[in-house]
Structure 1
Amino acid sequence: MADDMDVDDIYSAPPQGTKRKASEDIAPPVNAPRRIQALAEDVVNKIAAGEIILTPGHALKELIENAVDAGSTSLEILAKEGGLKLLQISDNGHGIEREDLPILCERFTTSKLKTFEDLTSIGTYGFRGEALASISHIAHLSVTTKTKESSCAWRAHFADGKLVPQKPGQSADPKPTAGRQGTQITVEDLFYNVPTRRRAFRSASEEYARILDLVGRYAVHCSGVSFTCKKHGESSMGISVPAAANIVDRIRQVHGSAVANELLHIKTNSDRWGFKAEAWVSNANYSVKKTALLLFINHRAVESSAIKKAVEQTYSSFLPKGGHPFIYISLEIDPHRVDVNVHPTKKEVNFLNEDEIIEMLCDEIRSSLGSVDTSRTFMTQTLLPGAKVPTAPVAVTPIKASGNPSSSRNSEEPPSARRTPQTSQKPYENNLVRTDSRVRKITTMLPPGQHSEADSTAGAPRDELEYEESDKEPTICRLTSVKELRAEVREAMHNELTDVFASHTFVGVVDERRRIAAIQGGVKLFLVDYGMLCNEYFYQVGLTDFGNFGSIRLDPPLSVTDLLNVAVEHEKSSSSSSAEADEDFDWAEAVTLVREQLVARRDMLAEYFSFDVSPAGDLCALPLLVKGYVPCMAKLPQFLLRLGPHVNWVEEKDCFCSFLRELASFYVPEALPPPPSADAPSAGEEDPELAARRRQLERTLETVLFPAFRSRLVATRGLLKGVIEVANLKGLYRVFERC
């Protein structure tokens, strides 16, 4: 009968896909809104514990701070399975009174605060009274403590913030036991009742490494306190720092002698901003792959991304690319200027005048690093013709490049940046790279005056251009249109091609008329269209340095009308259209419209692009995109004429994009006719001026443009059309193996 009922129910159900009315809801109707109710106390305590104790390291941090606050001069730390199974800390501090043990692990019980106003002048590590309470809710906690006046030690066990018996049926009161002065806190089975948190930890060794890092930070900072930390069951210590060690010796014990031997001691203070700082930082002879920052504010280990970024920026002028410093900073700020109660784990604090304090600290670091470097002197010797002989030793001081970020850089890297990789196996010959882009060529050592007289006919050599520094402050572009254009470039990025240009070696110019050059990338040889590369590179420079261009001053200024008329005459002479079509087009009106367009938008052009047009219609300055390179001025009239019909002056984003595209096209090197062939004697000799322009172009490509591509070109997918692989060393080896 039951089976019949089931069958009837199935056949009586509506078929699948039948539409229902809005009133026929699948879920049962809600009769009344849900009532608000208070969470159970144990739920509240576990939520609070989850905010404060995230890892065994957070629990240990609270215990270390409490031990140091208790006047301890010796801390012994023991960990098992990364602190999840066992975490024990023993100190020789004042201890805890037997009468205070019943409320030791209750929330918001502390000996450091009485009123809320005490937070504004607190001088100890802990300040909320939640550490032991949180630990007791997610672990088995036992405390053994003895004060100086007590005749014995007392041991107590806690769970959920309250005293509990060690075994069922026993009393929960603290039990007398033998022990030394101080406190020993044992945390077992951390997160035993929070299985999701327990499963989130990847490995015990990783958690133990975090514990060592934390203990190392406090071992460096807490002078007069000895620290030991080891794994349970092992005799060797992970960290061992004696109490009598000074700061440098503590850094040597924890971080090694390599950094301890290269430290600078820095002190600074300011009554205006209410702080004093003491720091030990590494000098320019030491660098690592990742910044090691030990930051203590009012003796609390905290984190500050603002301080870290500022210090890294300061060191970028002194360290090789990819190198980072070691910094230990102890900041003491007026407690009334610090808000300590902003983060559950106390890893962050807020304080007033943050920017001013960081600036003073970085200035002190910068001056200390500079003063150390000036003590290193080097003698020079005349090896090449034209080199200048110094009359005294030359003091080398690092100078941060200013002005346009795309300015030419010295191709020679510091010795510390050129480290030969240590390989256990000898690489196969078909994996060997013939040249290294980082190796300096002998041609770069020639002094600027060693150019031939024929080069001077093509204008001023690029190395002899004169530059003036401007006191204009760099502006930060916040225009949405420019940010969108930059994002489009990033989205179109081709990773492999970008890597090729970032580590390529320039081989030479193959064809000046077609603007083709050869480069080597790894074990491959490529032919590239350097006209296309220059166009994309100068467009990206325009987006990156938007509003911060240098300027090429024209003295005397050039008449825009005259330049446009020159472009019109060139268009008429080279136009392939019929004479009737030329007569229908009013070139004079076009010249007037383009001139009025540039004069009307002169303020915008000057502010964003350093393109200076006077109210009278004279061109006073052009934007300077790359230091050491001036575009071909023969293309200037055509560039101005194209700014009329080829730039969208109405829409902001299209206006910036089209103008920068035209500017990039203007900056592309000129196409030169091929040199006369040696096989054709009737061709005659090449014009000296054209030959000088050819040599100047080759020198500019090798020393300015292609190094600039290597440093900041983002190769987009569109550049794949201009790159052809012509040789592959591995492929040639395969061919030879078959022969």
Structure 2
Amino acid sequence: MAESPGTSPARGTKRKADEMQGPRRIRALHQDVVNKIAAGEIIVAPMHALKELIENAVDAGSTSLEILVKDGGLKLLQITDNGCGINKDDLPILCERFTTSKLKAFEDLTSIGTYGFRGEALASISHIAHLTVTTKTAESSCAWKAHYLGGKLAPLKPGQSEEPKACAGRPGTQIAVEDLFYNVPSRRQAFRSPSEEYAKIADVVGKYAVHCHGVAFSCKKHGEAGAGIAVPANATTRDRIRMIHNTAIANELIGLDLANSQYGFKVDGLVSNANYHGKRTTFLLFINHRSVDSSNMKKAIDQTYSMFLPKGGKPFTYLSLEIDPARVDVNVHPTKREVNFLNEAEIIELVCDEIRTRLGQVDTSRTFMTQSLLGGGVTPSISKANIPPTETPSTQRPTQQGRSTAKPSTQKPYENNLVRTDAKSRKITTMLPQLQSNATLSREPTADGVEYEYTEREATICRLTTVKALRATVRENMHNELTDAFANHSFVGIVDDRKRIAAIQGGVKLFLVDYGMVAAEYFYQLGLTDFGNFGSIRFNPPLSLKELLDIAVEQAKAQEPDRTDFNWDEVAPTVYDQLVSKAGMLTEYFSLEISPEGDLLSIPLMMKGYMPSLAKLPHFLIRLGPHVNWRDEKGCFHSFLRELASFYAPESLPGESSGKDGAEEEDAELVSRRRELHRAVESVLFSAFKARLVATKGLLKGTIEVANLKGLYRVFERC
């Protein structure tokens, strides 16, 4: 119905721009509205309420937790523990917001070692449910029962006193949450079914039952005799996984134990070996004994396991990560589901390296199912061998009717699913005439002939928020399928070193990639990871920075002889003054050392076994002037590392002559450069891409799928 003229729009209705007559007055929200908003942020579902109650019980020193659930926790959610209990004098303020025994000053957040600390859990629950607390301390002669509504004590029935009442009870605390979200109908109606909510509750209980050593857990539905989860207090971690998940997982677990003093963390846990693979990842992560989620770590671990498991196989992972509390910020999410900690990328990389090492150590023995193919009964057995067992030929024997037994039903893999994975197999480059005619080109890696000196300098821990933001940007732009293709690829060969194109095989697909573009992205990521910890390529004798810049200007003038929009004579001195003025920062962060006399002493060494083309050095130095944002810290680091990565990207070589019909042969220097380039691209760069490249979406421009074995088979089947 249309609104009558002169009347104001109804409350909660969006007003159009032409109806705005002035700004509305700002008013403080009613305290009841504030409390309900806060409760809705912290308690999103019954599983979140239970998580808070479990953490409070464990903080109280409990060794036994009994959980009772009715209608998925919406009707009743009860937890009983045998902890230290709550003093009777503290019951009046128990459910008020920001009342806690675990935090006194803001500085205590830097050393928080308990689950709860803000004092919002019980307060939030009391605003959206009927809360009953029964508690008894060791010194008390009886238990005390109290009812709460809206954060305050409330009588159980109208007309009764709201004060806590004495009753019989055992030491510890029992908290009953009834009619959850009774006053938030929109939230209550959003839940699909009680069974689905119970499954989420069981998942939360299962996580803490695996992690909390020495604590017994019991969880069951109301009205059922048996418990859905029952874990004794003396069970080991492996036994807890067996009880909560299944025996198949528990039998295929390997221990993980890692400590690092540089980043101040240690991690232990149990992860599945290569014999186990599930349909989806089971990922249990605890940071300082707090159950949290980390999508970055989960993706990294899945990528690590992809090299060991069949396609589509997912691992089981339980990790307990302990980090110095001063490096962790737990107060970043209302439900404490996420935490922030320093050196996240470095810690994830070290954990994945350790998992990869452990999997490599146990992967010498794999389990395979074999079956007897004799004419008698079928006897399945399990054998362990380093390689899959070969197929046993069928044995025919005549029967009374003169017929032979059936042939085995083992199926030969389809040819369109075969993947070459042997690195020693013949590569396509050996079939190219121009490469066969060049007898000096070796297909085997050769040493780069450079001597390296090692120092005892300790690695610098990067605490710059700008660098962390740049690392996060890389992770956000990751293309999962392309990253997997590079992580599991087989190098085929260099197709054109003039256009910097190489062929790789990923599964049953063949790709042409611009390895210059990929290398530039890889060295940029390497610069972010090793920021402040580069090695150095030292020049002896030092090079004159002015002469290098003059050479760069002459090269630029030769390429653009008609450009007159600026004075070429001012370019080199301007860039020289800028680099000398930033010499301290360049040395500290990038190992690019310039002496006070203007000599170039060193440039950063980013990868052992790979030397950039020094012919590009003048061009690299001259671009540091106009193409680096020296006014903004984040922009400076980003643009400098991009220029450094471009300098380190492999050079484009001139076209190679075929040597036929009396054509001039390449000079010895170009032949040597081509041989070294091919060695570095195949043996160094693509091996590094396979180990740690995060393929971003921008690399899709430099990657083309040229063949798909399954697609080719479909084409030939029609011919």
TM-score, normalization by structure 1: 0.57
1:559-708 to 2 correspondences below 5 Å: 559=544, 594=572, 597-598=575-576, 601-602=579-580, 604=582, 606-607=586-587, 609-616=590-597, 618-633=599-614, 635=615, 639-640=617-618, 643-644=621-622, 647-648=625-626, 652=630, 657=639, 661=643, 664=646, 667-677=649-659, 680=661, 682-683=662-663, 690-708=670-688
Matching residue of 2:155: 163
CA contact (8 A) 2:549 2:622 kept: no
The equivalent position to 2:541 in structure 1, one of 546, 556, 561, is: 556
Aligned to 2:713: 733
- Conserved 8 A contact 1:503-1:521: yes
1:252–1:259: 8 Å Cα contact kept in structure 2? yes
Query: Match for residue 242 of structure 1?
Result: 232
Distance 1:330 1:206, change over 3 A: farther
Change (3 A) 1:523 1:169: same
Give the conservation status (yes or no) of the 8 Å contact 2:115–2:290.
no
Identity %: 46
Deviation at 1:169, TM superposition (A): 11
Take 1:490 and 1:66, find their aligned partners in 2: how far apart are those partners? Answer: 35
Task: Specify the code of the residue in structure 1 equivalent to 2:229.
Answer: I
- Cα deviation, residue 230, structure 1: 1.7
Q: Identify the residue that residue 326 of structure 1 maps to in structure 2.
A: 318
Total equivalences in the alignment:
611
Instruction: Tell whether the 8 Å contact from 1:508 to 1:702 is kept in structure 2 after alignment.
Output: yes
CA distance in 2 between partners of 1:341 and 1:483 (Å): 18
- Between the aligned partners of 1:183 and 1:525, the Cα distance in structure 2 is 63
The answer to which of 317-326 and 130-139 deviates more is 317-326
Matched to 1:191, the amino acid is F
Secondary structure class of the residue paired with 1:630 = coil
In structure 2, what is the Cα distance between the partners aligned to 1:724 and 1:355? 38
Larger-Rg structure: 1
Taking a change above 3 Å as real, the CA distance of residues 691 and 211 of structure 1, as seen in their structure-2 partners, is: same
Query: Equivalent residue for 1:80?
Result: 70
Moved more, 81-90 or 64-73: 64-73
Residue 528 (structure 1) shift = 4.2
Equivalent residue in structure 1 for 2:221, among 216, 220, 231: 231
C-alpha distance in structure 2 between counterparts of 1:631 and 1:295, whole Å: 41
Instruction: State the Cα distance separating 1:510 from its structure 2 match.
Output: 2.9
Return the alpha-carbon distance in structure 2 between the equivalents of residues 492 and 174 of structure 1: 56
Measured in 1, the distance between the counterparts of 2:204 and 2:113 equals 21
Cα distance 1:105–1:34, how it changes in 2: closer, same or farther (>3 A)? closer
- Where does 1:37-186 land on structure 2 (aligned, <5 Å)? 39=30, 53-60=43-50, 75-89=65-79, 107=95, 135=125, 138-140=128-130, 161-165=153-157, 186=176
1:465 aligns with: 450
CA distance in 2, matches of 1:696, 1:631: 11
Shift in CA distance, 349/515, structure 1 to aligned 2, threshold 3 Å: closer
Q: How far apart in 2 are the matches of 1:153 and 1:566?
A: 88
Q: By how many angstroms is 1:623 displaced?
A: 3.0
Q: 1:217 to 1:476 in 2, by over 3 A?
A: closer
Structure 2 counterpart of 1:208, from 164, 180, 198: 198
Paired residue secondary structure (1:435) = coil
Q: In the alignment, which residue of structure 1 is the partner of 2:503?
A: 518
2:417 is the counterpart of 1:432: yes
Task: Give, in whole Å, the separation in 1 of the partners of 2:142 and 2:546.
Answer: 101
Q: Aligned equivalents of 2:469 and 2:102: distance in 1?
A: 54
| Partner SS state of residue 163, structure 1 | coil
What is residue 505 of structure 1 aligned with on the other side?
Answer: 490
CA RMSD of aligned residues (A): 7.1
Q: 1:324 to 1:609 in 2, by over 3 A?
A: farther
Unaligned runs of 5+ in 2: 7-17, 309-313, 365-386, 389-409, 428-438
What residue number does 1:292 align with?
284
Distance 1:265 1:667 in 2: 37
User: For residues 259 and 527 of structure 2, what CA distance do their matches in structure 1 show?
Assistant: 42
TM-score normalised to structure 2 length? 0.59
Whether the aligned pair in 2 keeps the contact of 1:106 and 1:162 (CA below 8 Å) is no
Alignment partners' CA distance in 2, 1:512 and 1:65: 60
Report how far residue 326 of structure 1 moved: 2.9
Deviations 1:548-573 (A, max 9, x none): 5432222233455776788899999x
Which residue number corresponds to residue 395 of structure 2?
A: none
CA distance in structure 2 between the partners assigned to 1:330 and 1:548 by the alignment: 25
Distance change (3 Å), C-alpha of 1:669 and 1:212: same
Cα 1:478–1:142 change in 2 (3 A) is closer
Pair 645,709 (structure 1): closer, same or farther in 2 beyond 3 Å: closer
**How far apart, in 2, do the equivalents of 1:623 and 1:115 lie?**
47
Question: CA, structure 1 residues 676+200, in 2 after alignment: closer, same or farther (shift >3 Å)?
Answer: same
Deviation larger for 500-509 or 213-222:
213-222
Aligned runs of 1:404-483 on 2, under 5 Å?
A: 429=414, 432=417, 434-436=419-421, 440-441=423-424, 462-470=447-455, 471=457, 473-474=459-460, 476=462
Query: Is contact 2:293–2:338 with CA below 8 Å preserved after alignment?
Result: no
CA contact (8 A) 2:285 2:292 kept: no
Counterparts in 2 of 1:641 and 1:616: CA distance versus 1, 3 Å: farther
* Structure 1 position 80, deviation (Å): 2.6
Shift of residue 671, structure 1, vs aligned partner = 1.0
> How much has 1:702 moved relative to structure 2?
0.8
2: CA distance between counterparts of 1:703 and 1:177?
A: 76
